[in-house]
Structure 1
Amino acid sequence: MSAAEHPPGFTPTGTIAQAADRRRVVFATVVGTTVEWYDFFIYASAAGLVFGELFFAPAGPGIGTLLSFLTVGISFLFRPFGAFLAGHLGDKYGRRLVLMLTLILMGVATALIGLLPTYAAIGVAAPILLILLRVVQGISAGGEWGGAVLMAVEHAPKTKRGLFGASPQIGVPLGLLLASGTMALMAIIAPGDAFLEWGWRIPFLLSVVLILIGYYVRRSVEESPVFVEIADRKEQTRMPIIQLFRKHLLLVIIAALVFAGNNAVGYMTTGGYIQNYATNPDGPIGLERGPVLWAVTGSAVTWLLSTWFAGWLSDRIGRRTTYLIGWVLQLGGVFALFPLVNTGEVGLLFAGLAVLTIGLGFTYGPQAALYSELFPASIRFSGVSISYAIGAILGGAFAPSIATALVDATGTTMSVTWYLAGMTLLGLVASLLLRDRSGIPLGPDHEAEQAKSPIYGLSKA
């Protein structure tokens, strides 16, 4: 796009002037990210509730559940591939293109899962096909987040990046709310064996409708103004990933650890572990599937609100300070979770999840703005996407499987609590290593300033 083709209200400062255009960007990132993560979380919820029985039945209930959770984690191993691919395309050809491609890829994989025959129908081919489609979901998720984040933050006014950046972030709890709510509704419509036979499939097939809506909304959004400036000057980096790892490897690792501390704890709900733990008929609680799903749905609301508030707050007190408050809140939620869940009362289970998600929101809401302000404009897509993908592997990839193995080995959920507390402290330490760069210019005119190290103890030049 040439300078003459810039949309009305465009300013060469990494933002757009028209309020209506900003609202369109926020709406598009929220809707698109919600649809993307609805697809991702529908799988995790089904993995905790039915996939062990339907796709891994010969392994027995215990091992079948563990294998089911492992398929959740396998997709994370392919997120870096999606992040590498999306980062390269996003830094060379634009953020908008990547957002459209990842949305379609995720939707097709999700709908096909809803049509898969089970192990009883086609044998070992069933879990193989399930894993392959989950891998496709992982590739899509690896590329989605970076594009959505940069479209939001690079369009934002300098003083509202945290708030704008929270818009794709709240798509995650919205996706969880929609996924858990849909599953809970299907548990009512198709109770008992009907849920196992066909009820679980409907939420996957609904993805087709949601993808069409998300695609339509995202088509209405202009390309990020920062990328437009870069493209106008023909300054796209030829090999952005090589430049990223050559000059910013340590920063990528620290940024990944920040997210890992949040993601490991978050996957207690989004990865299906609590759903499985609380509804397992052979476990210590044995609650009905429906009430547990509604409790998880309710906790998605508290997660959403705290995520949005934390993004707003980070514009006022800084990203780093907001994170430090969040780690303290998250640690408190970690120690409160299982004592409340283990009461066997649905109301207290919801209370435990609600307390946990408040801390999760504070360590997730500012992440879009934080990441965007860490990396230079020409390699920013690669930087935020790859840091996020690595953090997801280190954090949430196998958190449900680890939790299951810890309880099996120790016989107590206290072992899981200490594991989650350790991940929270890891995130806290990583946050302390980073300087606050709230408000730093994001455009290509300021690459030299952006390239200065944000890591304490390293030269700022």
Structure 2
Amino acid sequence: MTQIKHERSTQDLVRAAVSGWIGVLPTYAQIGIFAPVLLVTLRIIQGLGAGAEISGAGTMLAEYAPKGKRGIISSLVAMGTNCGTLSATAIWAVMFFALEREQLIAWGWRIPFLASVVVMIFAIWLRMNLKESPVFEKVSEGEKSPALTPASENTLGAMFTSKSFWLATGLRFGQAGNSGLIQTFLAGYLVQTLLFNKSIPTDALMISSVIGFITIPLLGWLSDKYGRRLPYIILNISAIILAWPMLSIVVDKTYSPGVIMAALIVIHNFAVLGLFALENITMAEIFGSRNRFTRMAISKEAGGLVAVGFGPVLAGIFCNMTDSWLPILIMLVLYSCIGLISALLMPEVRDRDLSLPEDAAEATAAEKLRHSATQTS
């Protein structure tokens, strides 16, 4: 079941408080080891809150959007994330230009965190003035009888035995794994190991994010026209096919910076941004109204945490062991294969009735059983 707006406002309030606390954290000289421990802890809380908010925003837009336009409307969530990434990059670029290195290290880094509190206050006001979605209101009226919502369906055990949950986690794992490899590890690997000019990966990812303002809504529109499965399948197959030629160009200094950047932009849009455009609407439709927000948030957090948390670390270990970039290629192909398999196994969920309580895979299986029983009788 989706969460009410006041619960989401609480999430915004927590994130605002965390951002403010980061901005006023004592230094290592003042409290010793507790300074980095607190910083890491607060950043983890901030990240979890942001992930939950993305799920909440995706759910809200999907439940408000009319059939036939859910994909392109829900892609606004990915557009917002993309815009946030670009804005953060631009803010840091201005600060690097405006402040001396010593000033930036001493106090300048705190400014974006403190300034973000203002944005969070606006977000809380916006959230408090939003009406619940039509789907939420429809389902709430239908659930006045407790018998219609079995308690057993709301347990962690039920979630972990749900095929839909694991399919959604697989989709997220594939996209997040590629994101961690390309946006985090590969960018650092090019600069620190291969000694590229740091402007090459940085500028390439910035340009790619700008192009994402076309890629993301385009994929949302295509998913409205051709379904959610087909774009997922095509993007993952494309990422698998393009991985070798694009990465072999990216790591080769004999190519001009423009060619290297172009190759990085291509693989980033196919393997990361395109998949992210499909993620929120697909997950909103694959889960039933009974547990949509909870299962969507957990599948996104679990898949993302494992893939992004451990992927770059493993890539670094394997690249150091082999003294080669091939582990990056292998991991990108594996992540894309996981996303592809999940897409092949999931039912088509485009324009599914969002007020249905069951998850899509379970509802499809039950329908097949009923159809089989009808034919037998």
2:205 alignment partner in structure 1:
296
Contact 1:254 1:430 in 2 (8 A): yes
- 5+ unaligned residues in a row in structure 2: which ranges? 372-377
Of 163, 173, 182, the match for 1:250: 163
Which of 366, 370, 380 is matched with 2:282 structurally?
370
Aligned to 2:375: none
If asked which structure has higher relative contact order (CA below 8 Å, sep 6+), I would say 2
Is 2:197 the partner of 1:287? yes
1:136 CA displacement: 1.4
Q: Against the structure 1 CA distance between its residues 110 and 258, is the aligned structure 2 distance closer, same or farther, given a 3 Å change threshold?
A: same
1:62-461 superposed matches below 5 A: 91=2, 94-119=3-28, 121-235=30-144, 237=149, 239=151, 241-242=154-155, 245=158, 249-270=162-183, 272-280=184-192, 283-288=193-198, 292-335=201-244, 336-337=246-247, 339-343=249-253, 347-359=258-270, 360-443=272-355, 446-447=356-357, 452-454=362-364, 459=369
| Worse-superposed segment, 125-134 or 205-214 | 205-214
In the TM superposition, residue 459 of structure 1 has moved relative to its aligned partner by: 4.7
Indicate if the aligned counterparts of 1:435 and 1:455 stay in contact, CA closer than 8 A: no
Percent identity over paired residues: 26
Residues 174, 336 of structure 2: 8 Å contact kept: yes
Residues 1:171 and 1:342: Cα distance change in structure 2 (over 3 Å)? farther
Q: How far 1:425 moved relative to its partner?
A: 0.7
- For normalisation by structure 2, the TM-score amounts to 0.85
The Cα shift of 1:313 comes to 0.6
Cα distance change of structure 1 residues 220 and 397 upon mapping to structure 2, 3 Å threshold: same
Deviation at 1:104, TM superposition (A): 2.3
Unaligned 5+ segments in structure 1 are 1-89
Distance 1:206 1:349 in 2: 35
Q: Deviations over 1:268-301 (max 9, x none)?
A: 355x334433443xx322534x665444322222
Q: Secondary structure at the match of 1:116?
A: coil
- The root-mean-square deviation of aligned C-alpha atoms, in Å, is 3.0
**Counterpart amino acid of residue 228 in structure 1:** E
Q: CA deviation at 1:433?
A: 0.4
Q: Against the structure 1 CA distance between its residues 450 and 365, is the aligned structure 2 distance closer, same or farther, given a 3 Å change threshold?
A: same
Counterpart Cα distance in 1 of 2:124 and 2:230: 36
Q: Please state how far the C-alpha of 1:323 moved relative to its aligned partner.
A: 0.6
Partner SS for 1:184: helix
8 A Cα contact 1:96 1:224, kept in partner: no
Contact 1:244 1:382 in 2 (8 A): no
TM-score of the two chains, using structure 1 as the length reference: 0.70
CA offset at residue 345 of structure 1? 6.1
Asked whether the 8 Å contact 1:263–1:396 carries over to 2, the reply is yes
Count, aligned residues:
364
